[in-house]
Copies of this chain bind each other. A is one copy, B any other.
Amino acid sequence: MIQNYIENANFEDTGFAYTLSLISGKHKMVILYCLMEFETVRFNELKRYLKTISDKTLSTNLKKLEADKLIIRTEYPQIPPKVEYTLSERGKTLMTVLDQLCAWGEENRLTE
């Protein structure tokens, strides 16, 4: 599986590098977890959960996640505006895999 890629030394094209590129960055995982937990979340609501994120950074991250089809953005044309974000089916399948990474981390944290 992984070994195939060593030969050509083309790691950018591995499924692994691809998966990581989807969730790289400081906040993407937290956003996904919030959507998994609360299912439907609005922009400012997310901002409160993340506590320290700026408008700009949150906006950028949401756009990337949407472009990667991990989340779904639903806009209600009204005043004041209302936008809801949810996990896509694709996003949900990714979360099941990430949960295993989480489990490994909890079981293998170094005792310092």
Contact = CB atoms under 8 A, between A and B. Distances in A.
Given A11-B29, A33-B11, A101 B97 contact: yes
Nearest to A5: B33
A103 B69 CA distance: 18
A79 interface: no
A105 interface: yes
Interface of A: 1-3, 5-6, 9, 11, 14-20, 23, 29-30, 33-34, 36-38, 49, 51, 68-69, 90, 93-95, 97-110
Given A6-B34, A15-B101, A20-B23, 6 more contacts: A2-B99, A6-B37, A11-B30, A15-B105, A97-B101, A98-B101
